[in-house]
Chains A and B, each alone.
Chain A
Amino acid sequence: MRVSFWTLVSIFAWLMLIALLVVPLGSVLLSSLQDQAGNFTLGNYTRFAETPRFRAAFVNTLIVGFGGLVGSLLLGSAMAFCMARIEIRGSRIVSLLAILALVSPPFIGAYSWIVLFGSGGLVRQTLMSWGIFIPPIFGLWGILIVFSFKFYPYVYLLASGALSNINRSLEEAAESLGLTPFQRVMKISFPLVLPAISAGGLLALIHSIADFGTPRLIGRGFNVLATEAYTLYSAEVGSNLSMATTISIVLIMLSMLFVFGQRYMSRRNVYHGNLINKPVKKKLTGFRNVAAHGVVYTIALIGAMPAFIAAIYSVRRTSGPVFHPGFGLESYRRILYNLADVVQNSLMFSFATVALIVTIGTLIGCLVARKMSVNTSLLDATLMVPYVMPGIVVGIAFVAAFNAPPLALTGTAAVIILSIFIRRLPYSVRSSASALRQVSPSMEEAAISLGYSPARAFMKVTVPLILPGIVAGGMLSFVTAINELSSSLVLYVGSTATMPVRIYIAINDGDYGTAAALSTVLLVLSSTAIYIAFRLMGRDERALL
């Protein structure tokens, strides 16, 4: 019975991966290898390599990728070091701010920076009236600033975890062997947290490469692969799917390259933390104390600034897209009367996605954790692929695969739900597998020896123990699902627009009031989900990554 059940799960998982991953990716690859008439050709790749516009986009993608990486590394490790090793007042608030930065969608970040530092931006205008001229934030530097302050929490959360888990004796031993504090940091602490920092950096890099909203809104002519793919796909006239798919393939290759590169680099260096001899936090005084607090709070506040700006601007008085002095609820009223269906779509899609992710992710997670075999390792490895697929690529792949019978799904809610589902599935599988691995197998064996059949033992003992983790994981998936922009933007039609899509459109139209109000609704929903998750599994910021 039991064996055949897991075999069924395994078969189902593979069928699902074939339908939602292999077929779409295959379609993308196929389409990139065809000319307009449908004949095999490498012409698209040649054209990609020869066209200055695409070459520029390729280089720009690398620039924003590594720029975002460097910025996140600088901000994230500075903050991690201060928070893990120095007594910072209000450190709980600081990490709340970091979470806020992490969950607010990147396009809200772009929007808020425009509001403050755009051509008519509040801060920029004020400074100009004092005679200080700064250029508007648009272009490369704008993108890099947004990325750095948006993605630094990846580095911060991973590195501070590693830093506060280093066995204190290691550093004391180094000190007693005569190393100066600087040598000690470079020779002991840094190598020990390097795997964590590089993992955080990788997340920043991948997200920077994949992000579509930020370069689109703030780039103003600074194009990257993700925006080029979208432009080619969505052009009213001369839409070029095979060029869009070619760019998608390049984008996937790039992400894969970095993921495997990072894995290869940190493969040898897995250090297990310790829970007993933790480092103590130093209490600084005087100038150094002020400086440390300054660094931490500056990063945290700037990172969370977009969320605050959105909240404040959502209650400014507006008429149409124009802001007026004073406060009012017109923007929310507009959502209520005109955009209720968008909110409803977002909620429905997200709940459906989460339901799918939780059930299927948990089943596959159990399979991967409990039934070790070549099959399950292969399954686990295949699930890495959606993990590195940029949203825009998933969108285009789903269009390529599902726009004709037998699977004509384009324009339906299902296609949006499935596209978010497949991207989030790896997280869910990983987290439920690891929740399951935390439950000692002897726990189930104890129940069996007490007279429960294996199936009942699983239900009575294992399920209650992993349930909080699974619900918490579902909440975090909800956050991802409801904030998803890029694949939905490719896949939506009028009746299936979601909040992020609508925010994107509103910002493009200059309707900042509506964008702010929708963003605030998103942030409130996300924060609620995270609050529930943390209540269930204990506060663990790293679960957000």
Chain B
Amino acid sequence: MSYLAVKDASKQFGGSVRALDGVSFTVERNEFFTLLGPSGCGKTTLLRSIAGFADLTAGSISLAGTGLDSVPSHKRDIGMVFQDYAVFPHLTVAENVAFGLKARKVPAAETAARVAEALATVRLGAMATRLPAALSGGQQQRIGLARAMVIRPKLLLMDEPLSNLDAKLRIDLRDEIRDIQKSIGIAAIYVTHDQEEALAISDRICVMNAGRIEQIGTPQEIYADPRTIFVASFVGTMNVLPREAASHLGMGPDVESGRAHQLAIRPEHIRLDQGDVAPDSIRLAGMVEKYTYLGREAHVLAQTPAGKIVVQLADPSPTLRMETGSPIPLAFRRQDILSFDSSGMRLEGRGN
């Protein structure tokens, strides 16, 4: 029996909007599980159904062996962290954190100890007596996190908790969230539309699109072995080419037979042919259209017979010049090409 099990969850708003369409997955104890998908795909709806703030049209949810269907949200014992922090502005930092303990009638001494511990964990010990309005966004979200954790919930839900913060803080705080989750050993569901965040933080990722699950897997599986064209293009950068490009990519008659609808290859799997590539490589002559220098890497947009292709160059030399229109020979391996059928499903497993 899984710790959290969502079965065939569907949610319909009004007449036509299907926010969730037959979603099933499980989350284990201690697992960091991420819902990833573009905005509007139903992540928030799913999370709120688990928390009990929204009723499913169909389907069931069970947590730690008991069905949640008839449990009101305030009795579910599920901690929640909100995108807009939802920190109580009329209470001090410590009172915010103690709020859930009061409802549980935890004795005063124990409350004080647990609040102090939780504040120390999120590095807000010095701010205990302040009002939240005086704190930065990152600090407010730390209050939100401490407040949800201190009640030792059965499950922690986080709905895009970092999306209102600036980039640098987002990276710091996401690592902190990850460390805290592992150190207290709690099952967590994390919602984000940022694929890089999902890859960095998760044990497993569930990629969603239009109310359905596209794929569930570890970050490695999601990135390197996408099962659908949607996952392939949503996570990371992907060159997607039409089937007509197949002949230029050295693909055999099995593809010609017509099952492949789209072909895809990651920019980092294409390299410049400087006469040093493996003999079984496929070569493609291209012409530079645009060169973008990004420091750690550089992107070349090349016009080729197969279509426009982005190539990623690792650690580009600062003196490297690529003039628009100059020829650029490309090479890649056959097994790095992914092919998808007309319904967007992957056709064959990864070669290696």
Contact = CB atoms under 8 A, between A and B. Distances in A.
A450 B51 contact: no
Contact of A453 (B72, B79, B82): B72
A451 B77 contact: yes
B199 interface: no
B48 to A, nearest CB: 8
A-B residue pairs, 4 tightest by C-beta: A450-B100, A451-B103, A442-B86, A449-B80
Contacts of A464: 90
Contacts of A446: 80, 82, 86, 88, 144, 147
Interface in B210-259: none
Interface string A438-470: 001011011111111110110001001100000
Given A440-B84, A442-B82, A449 B73 contact: yes
Contact of B86 (A443, A451, A452): A443
A323 B317 CA distance: 96
B72 A451 contact: no
Given A446-B82, A451-B75, A452-B74, 11 more contacts: A440-B86, A446-B86, A449-B74, A449-B76, A451-B104, A452-B103, A454-B74, A456-B103, A457-B74, A461-B88, A465-B89
Interface in B124-171: 144, 147-148, 151, 157
A451 B90 contact: no
A339 to B, nearest CB: 43
Contacts of A440: 84, 86
A442 B84 contact: yes
Interface in A458-488: 461, 464-465
28 contacts: A440-B84, A440-B86, A443-B86, A445-B51, A445-B73, A445-B82, A446-B82, A446-B88, A446-B147, A447-B99, A448-B53, A448-B73, A449-B73, A449-B74, A449-B76, A449-B79, A449-B80, A449-B157, A450-B79, A450-B99, A450-B100, A451-B75, A451-B103, A451-B151, A452-B74, A456-B103, A465-B89, A465-B90
Interface in B41-90: 51-53, 72-80, 82-84, 86, 88-90
Contacts of A454: 74
A199 B80 CA distance: 42
Interface of A: 440, 442-443, 445-454, 456-457, 461, 464-465
Contacts of A447: 88, 99
A442 B148 CA distance: 13
A443 B86 CA distance: 5
Contacts of A449: 51, 73-74, 76, 78-80, 148, 157
Contacts of B75: 451
Interface residues of B, number: 28
Interface string B90-103: 10000000011001
Contacts of A465: 88-90
A440 B88 CA distance: 10
B100 A445 contact: no
A445 B147 CA distance: 13
B161 to A, nearest CB: 12
Contacts of B53: 445, 448
A446 B100 CA distance: 9
Given A450-B147, A454-B74, A443 B80 contact: no
Contacts of B83: 442
A454 B75 CA distance: 11
Contacts of B151: 450-451
Q: Identify the interface centre among A448, A452, A461, A465: most chain B CB within 10 Å of its CB.
A: A448
A448 B100 CA distance: 9
A273 B162 CA distance: 26
Nearest to A440: B84
Contacts of B74: 448-454, 457
A369 B74 CA distance: 23
Contacts of B84: 440, 442
A461 B157 CA distance: 21
A442 B47 CA distance: 13
A448 B52 CA distance: 10
Nearest to A465: B90
Q: Identify the interface centre among A442, A443, A456: most chain B CB within 10 Å of its CB.
A: A442
Interface string B161-195: 00000000000000000000000000000000000
Contacts of B100: 450-451
Given A450-B147, A453-B74, A445 B86 contact: yes
A314 B100 CA distance: 58
A454 B157 CA distance: 19
Contacts of B104: 451
A19 B75 CA distance: 42
Contacts of B148: 449-450
A446 B79 CA distance: 8
Nearest to A443: B86
Q: Identify the interface centre among B74, B100, B104, B157: most chain A CB within 10 Å of its CB.
A: B74
A457 B82 CA distance: 16
Nearest to B82: A442
A6 B184 CA distance: 42
A446 B74 CA distance: 10
Nearest to B153: A449
A457 B104 CA distance: 14
A443 B88 contact: yes
A90 B78 CA distance: 54
A447 B78 CA distance: 11
A461 B72 CA distance: 19
Contacts of B86: 440, 442-443, 445-446
A449 B48 CA distance: 11
Nearest to B103: A451
A457 B148 CA distance: 15
Nearest to B72: A453
A446 B84 CA distance: 11
Nearest to A444: B86
B44 to A, nearest CB: 11
A440 B84 CA distance: 8
Nearest to B81: A446
A330 B216 CA distance: 88
Contacts of B51: 445, 449
Nearest to A447: B99
A442 B84 CA distance: 8
A537 to B, nearest CB: 14
B270 to A, nearest CB: 42
Nearest to A468: B90
A464 B52 CA distance: 24
A450 B103 contact: yes
Q: Identify the interface centre among A445, A461, A464: most chain B CB within 10 Å of its CB.
A: A445
Contacts of A443: 86, 88
A450 to B, nearest CB: 3
A454 B103 CA distance: 12
Contacts of A457: 74
Contacts of A445: 51, 53, 73, 80, 82, 86
Interface in B290-333: none
A456 B80 CA distance: 18
Nearest to B48: A445
A452 B100 CA distance: 8
Contacts of A452: 74, 103
A465 B53 CA distance: 21
A461 B91 CA distance: 9
B215 to A, nearest CB: 29
A144 to B, nearest CB: 47
Q: Identify the interface centre among A449, A454, A464: most chain B CB within 10 Å of its CB.
A: A449
A481 B338 CA distance: 75
B279 to A, nearest CB: 59
